[in-house]
Structure 1
Amino acid sequence: MELRGKLALVTGGSDGIGREIALQLQGLGADVIVTGRSAEKLQAMATLGFGTIAGDLSTAAGVDAVVTGVAGKPLAILVNNAGIGSEYELEDAGTLGSAELCIRTNLDAPIALCTRLLPALRAQREATIVNVTSGLAIAPRAGGAIYCATKAGLRSYTQAIRHLLKDSNVRVIEALPPVVETNMTAGRSGKKMSAHDCAAEIVHGIRTGKAEINVGMVKILQLVHSISPALARRIMIKF
């Protein structure tokens, strides 16, 4: 896909992977609108020439704000990147609120945005939806049950709508990052990919039209899973 002159919307685009995706799309000539919850971070993006939309995607009002913010614009690229973790603990009903926010942000919001923005995407000569899931959508880890479930759900949804749109002008891409250095993973130890390098692989995949972008170490996970799904699950469940 030629990016120059295309209008892109990147949710969660004021920080982390989303910010890097936005910067790299802009660097390749795209016009980019980012969404976020932090007024300060959105203002910083505005000073760099980005359009901004404030909205918490765990709420219906936040989704409405994004849809309204791009209404009437020639939207050609939708990157559903916004995501949050969950403090869910098994047998602790007090963490169900956190789980609900995670489900709304990571799964409900991308589905709503794909559905409500599809007419705008169909109106373009060529358009792309990018749903950012995770390597954990392939095989879950026990310590992130709700997060993994949302990403697995989004992966399944993405594969289904790719088939539904296969004869249309809208390409559907899934991007599967590994553990990336972001605010969400700040408390985790171990090797992490930089947000810049992760975004670079995603943007390259958008340009080349890949259906599935396995980023960094996820390439190895996919290979293991293709040989033995059970082995992949055993490796990842304690990750």
Structure 2
Amino acid sequence: MDLAGKTILLTGGTNGIGREMARQLKAKGASVVITGRNAERLTAMRGEGFEAISADLSNAAGVDTLIAEWGEREIDVLINNAGQLVDHDFRKGTPDADAADDCVYANLSAPIRLTTAFVERLKRRPETAIVNVTSGLAIAPAARQPVYCATKAGLRFYTLALREQLKDTNIRVIEALPPVVDTQMNDGNPMKKMPVEDCAAAILDAIEKDRKEANIGMTKVLRVAEGISPAFARSVTIRF
């Protein structure tokens, strides 16, 4: 896919991987609309020339706001990148159930709802894609992040099934599986972190080359380990 001239909706585009993807997409000539919920970051991205929609995707009202703001305009690529990490570790005490609900909605329900809203519109365009950003932890979980891992695994399986449903259409369904990336979300994570610029570039490369999956960085190693022994792959990640 040639990204130049494409109209792209990128959720979670004010920070981390999303912000870097937005910048790289713009450099490739795409028309990028981003979403976020932090007012200062939204303002900063608008200052860089992006259209930025304020929407909290951790609940249905926020997703509906985004859909309404988009209006009737066309769309070529939907990138479901927005995500939340929630502390859900019973070894530290009783987790916040409401925070877990927000994480489930942002990471899984929102992408499903946005896909449902835009898939027929995507079918009208000559060359389109839905890109779901999951995680290496969608393959094998980490004990300290059970809700995050569950939502990303859920989105992975949704993506696999959606790809089969849409295989006879013009819509490419792509899954991006980043490793641990050097973003604010991973502050305090002791694992080696991939530069955000490299991760964003790998995702865009997968879109341009119409790949079904982008196994990025250490996720490639994890996928090999899973192919040999899923139990071994889980034993590597579960302790983190």
What TM-score do the two structures reach when normalised by structure 1?
0.97
Q: Which residue of 1 aligns with 2:22?
A: 22
Q: Which residue of 2 aligns with 1:9?
A: 9
In the TM superposition, 1:105-116 aligns within 5 A as 105-116=106-117
CA contact (8 A) 2:9 2:78 kept: yes
Unaligned residue ranges in structure 2 (runs of 5+): none
The answer to whether structure 1 residue 60 and structure 2 residue 60 are counterparts is: yes
Separation in structure 2 between the aligned mates of residue 237 and residue 190 of structure 1, nearest angstrom: 13
What residue identity is the alignment partner of 2:81?
N
What residue identity is the alignment partner of 1:136?
L
CA contact (8 A) 2:133 2:175 kept: yes
Separation in structure 2 between the aligned mates of residue 94 and residue 44 of structure 1, nearest angstrom: 33
Q: Which residue of 2 aligns with 1:190?
A: 191
Separation in structure 2 between the aligned mates of residue 210 and residue 65 of structure 1, nearest angstrom: 31
Separation in structure 1 between the aligned mates of residue 109 and residue 94 of structure 2, nearest angstrom: 21
Separation in structure 1 between the aligned mates of residue 200 and residue 226 of structure 2, nearest angstrom: 24
Separation in structure 1 between the aligned mates of residue 132 and residue 16 of structure 2, nearest angstrom: 16
CA contact (8 A) 1:89 1:95 kept: no
Separation in structure 2 between the aligned mates of residue 218 and residue 94 of structure 1, nearest angstrom: 28
Unaligned residue ranges in structure 1 (runs of 5+): none
In the TM superposition, 1:63-212 aligns within 5 A as 63-90=63-90, 93-212=94-213
Separation in structure 2 between the aligned mates of residue 197 and residue 136 of structure 1, nearest angstrom: 19
CA contact (8 A) 2:178 2:199 kept: yes
Separation in structure 2 between the aligned mates of residue 85 and residue 35 of structure 1, nearest angstrom: 17
> Residue by residue, what CA displacement relative to the aligned partner does 1:129-179 show, whole Å, maximum 9, x if unpaired?
000000000000111110000000000000000000000011000000000
What residue identity is the alignment partner of 2:120?
P
CA contact (8 A) 2:129 2:173 kept: yes
In the TM superposition, 1:218-233 aligns within 5 A as 218-233=219-234
Separation in structure 1 between the aligned mates of residue 122 and residue 24 of structure 2, nearest angstrom: 21
The Cα shift of 1:190 comes to 2.6
Separation in structure 1 between the aligned mates of residue 158 and residue 81 of structure 2, nearest angstrom: 15
Separation in structure 2 between the aligned mates of residue 190 and residue 134 of structure 1, nearest angstrom: 15
Q: Which residue of 2 aligns with 1:44?
A: 44
Separation in structure 2 between the aligned mates of residue 161 and residue 8 of structure 1, nearest angstrom: 19
> Residue by residue, what CA displacement relative to the aligned partner does 1:73-120 show, whole Å, maximum 9, x if unpaired?
220010000001112233855521111111010001011001111122
Let me know the Cα RMSD of the aligned residues: 1.1
Structure 1 runs of 4+ with >4 Å offset: 91-94
Percent identical: 50
SS at match of 2:35: strand
CA contact (8 A) 1:53 1:65 kept: no
